[in-house]
Amino acid sequence: MSICRRRGTEPVPGIACVLFLLCLATPAIAVAVEEGEIAAPAGSTANPGASQQASPSAAFAGAPNPFFLPEGRKLGDTFPFFKDGVCHLFCMWMPTFGHFTSRDLVHWEKRPPTSFGGATGCVVEHEGKYYFFYTGAQNICLATSTDLEHWTQHSENPVLRGDDRMYATGDFRDAFVFFHAGERQWWMLFGTRRADRPAQRGGCVGLAKSQDLLRWQLHTPLWSPDIGPHADCPQVIEHKAHWYLIYLQRQTRYRVADSLDGPWRRPPIRDLGTKFSAAGSRPAFDGRRWISFPFLLDLEGQTDLGQWGYGGPLAVPRQWDFQPDGSITQRPAEEIVAAMTAPTSRESRRPLEGAKSLVGQWELHDGATARSLNASGGTLQLGEWPENFYLEADITIEAEDADFHLLFNASDDLLQGYQLAIRPRLDVADLRPISRWDVDRTLESVPFAIEANHPTKLRVFRHGTMLDVFIGDRATLTHRLYAHRGGRVFLEFRDATGCVANLTVRRLE
């Protein structure tokens, strides 16, 4: 076969063609695994009961836990600030503000918390001084510092509050401050509510202006859509020909405009991530890219379907990409991916060692690529698996009306566990529990353009109750999962052949 094509007509360029050809590798370098068989070493006969063997001490290579904050500790909204190659991550850490620092977004140092507390804010630098704006009792307060650690609260706090004429005093919070070069003055955005609107439709992004960061004058809203009760934690980003307004309406959302004057257009996919990835609207610029630090919501009663409660551990840091069509996509920060895939000096287990066909015929290559050969699909049971893991693979589904499933934390009989599904026809990825009747309620879903006969990068971070999934390095799906731990992992295609290539697994420490 001299050329790879997707949908039967269009040539697949570059790396996509290479990956597709890998999935079509000849049996001379592959192992055919029938139903009930365990994979034998490449080039040998795959007999029932045979197994690929690593050395007795071999295990999956380890990688640092990207959820650096322990599960037992809750934090709230984050607002990072980069200075001289160091990320200063400030966050709500009741009853104060927490402060963590890192040079690589993987290894973190806890710094002394502030002596004061409150809700979301931001940090800006001006003439050798740092200004920490934060929310007091539904008003905006200020503290200053010369070293980002020792803060002095402003003697005339609050520096800004609602007036109950333009903005409601009962909803006035989440300052974001930036310098408007065209006007040569400082702008402050904040989440508030129009005083002349019904409360459930008055949410808006308020605006104030200042010459000195101390004295502020209220102005008419930057954005007042009359569509909901709040527009919290707002921030604007200028990138090339577009302005982006990021805000919270329980989920992280954004709008796009050609200037700060608007109009602020709704993009085709307005949500950045899913609802359990909370408060991701305050990214920071490190001089090269924008990085955000959402947290994973706790669920009441520690059940998969529980009501969400405020606060939780940190999610995997997100790196933002601004696409030519004006959309924003997210992927794991480059440093996180590098830490997950770093070469190891000791012998480690290959992902497909001990793999067993549960349904259908599979072809295995080099311990890292599995191709399902049956037009109706197939299920491949993987071998021993770490409880806390990172999984990376290129998924190719070879028909539009077909699905790929990653089953994890699953029982041997497939009556318990979780199913992550990728569905090209629906352009969606979704997560749900698995059980006998296979009709369990969907826990989370995310829209994403999925192309049949084209590899889609899948990255899965699973540690404790935390799950963070990145699809195509563009879309994210996040949830807290309490019901099932440990168990097995299965690869599954339904209603088509398919390929899982370049499978990489790490044991999260």
3-state SS of 270-311?
Answer: CECCCCCEECCCCCEECCCCEEECCEECEEHHHCCCCCEECC
More confident residue, 120 or 3: 120
User: Residue 135 is which amino acid?
Assistant: T
More confident residue, 30 or 3: 30
Q: What is the pLDDT of residue 300?
A: 87
Summarised one tens digit per residue, pLDDT across range 323-348 is 999 999 999 999 999 999 999 877 78
Question: What are the residues whose beta carbons fall under 8 Å from the beta carbon of 102, sequence distance 6 or more?
Answer: 86, 87, 89, 108, 109
| Predicted confidence (pLDDT) at residue 125 exceeds the cutoff of 70 | yes
- Could you give the CA distance from residue 265 to residue 271 in angstroms, rounded to a whole number? 13
Helix (H), strand (E), coil (C) string for 348-413: ECCCCCCCEEEECCEEEECCCEEEECCCCEEEEECCCCCCCEEEEEEEEECCCCCEEEEEEEECCC
Label residue 439 by pLDDT band (50, 70, 90). Answer: confident
Q: What is the pLDDT of residue 345?
A: 73
DSSP state of 455: -
Summarised one tens digit per residue, pLDDT across range 262-301 is 999 999 999 999 988 888 999 999 999 999 999 998 888 8
Helix (H, G, I), strand (E, B) or coil at 120: strand
Label residue 489 by pLDDT band (50, 70, 90). Answer: very high
Q: What is the pLDDT of residue 276?
A: 87
Label residue 12 by pLDDT band (50, 70, 90). Answer: very low
Here the tokens at position 83 are: 């200075």
pTM score: 0.91
More confident residue, 102 or 308: 102
- Could you give the CA distance from residue 360 to residue 35 in angstroms, rounded to a whole number? 6
Overall average pLDDT of the 451-466 stretch: 96
Buried b or exposed e, range 314-337, using 16+ CB within 10 angstroms? bbbbbbbebeeebbbbbbbbebbb
| Predicted confidence (pLDDT) at residue 45 exceeds the cutoff of 90 | no
Could you tell me what percent of the chain has a pLDDT over 70? 89
Overall average pLDDT of the 297-314 stretch: 88
Overall average pLDDT of the 346-374 stretch: 94
Out of 405-419, 433-447, 481-495, which region has the weakest mean confidence (pLDDT)?
A: 433-447
Helix (H), strand (E), coil (C) string for 85-113: CEEEEEEEECCEEEEEEECCCCCCEEECC
DSSP β-ladder status, 284-285 and 308-309: unpaired
Label residue 384 by pLDDT band (50, 70, 90). Answer: very high
- Could you give the CA distance from residue 274 to residue 315 in angstroms, rounded to a whole number? 12
- Supply the mean pLDDT for the chain: 89
Overall average pLDDT of the 13-24 stretch: 45
Label residue 390 by pLDDT band (50, 70, 90). Answer: very high
DSSP state of 84: T
Q: What is each CA distance from 218 to 135, 203, 233, in whole angstroms?
A: 16, 16, 17
Label residue 503 by pLDDT band (50, 70, 90). Answer: very high
Overall average pLDDT of the 76-101 stretch: 95
Out of 70-74, 98-102, 227-231, 271-275, which region has the weakest mean confidence (pLDDT)?
A: 70-74
Would you give the distance in Å from CA 359 to the centre of its chain? 32
Overall average pLDDT of the 8-25 stretch: 43
Q: Around 313, how many Cα atoms within 13 Å sit in the side-chain half-sphere?
A: 20
Summarised one tens digit per residue, pLDDT across range 186-228 is 999 999 999 999 999 999 999 999 999 999 999 999 999 999 9
Overall average pLDDT of the 435-461 stretch: 92
Q: What is the pLDDT of residue 39?
A: 56
- Phi/psi at 493 (5° precision): -115, 145
Label residue 24 by pLDDT band (50, 70, 90). Answer: very low
Overall average pLDDT of the 428-437 stretch: 92
Q: What is the pLDDT of residue 68?
A: 82
- Could you give the CA distance from residue 418 to residue 415 in angstroms, rounded to a whole number? 10
Helix (H), strand (E), coil (C) string for 402-443: CEEEEEEEECCCCCCCEEEEEECCCCEEEEEECCCCCCCCCC
Overall average pLDDT of the 24-44 stretch: 54
Could you tell me what percent of the chain has a pLDDT over 90? 79
Question: ω into residue 95 within 30 of 0, thus cis?
Answer: yes
The residue count for the chain = 509
Q: What is each CA distance from 169 to 111, 138, 194, 249, in whole angstroms?
A: 34, 7, 10, 19
Domains and CATH numbers, the chain: 15-61+344-508 (2.60.120.560), 78-294 (2.115.10.20)
| Predicted confidence (pLDDT) at residue 43 exceeds the cutoff of 70 | no
- Please list the alpha-helical segments (H only) found in 162-237: none
| Predicted confidence (pLDDT) at residue 427 exceeds the cutoff of 90 | yes
Out of 65-74, 393-402, 416-425, which region has the weakest mean confidence (pLDDT)?
A: 65-74
Specify burial of residue 18 (Cβ count, 10 A radius: 0-12, 13-18, 19+).
Answer: middle
Q: What is the pLDDT of residue 29?
A: 46
Out of 68-77, 124-133, 138-147, 371-380, which region has the weakest mean confidence (pLDDT)?
A: 68-77
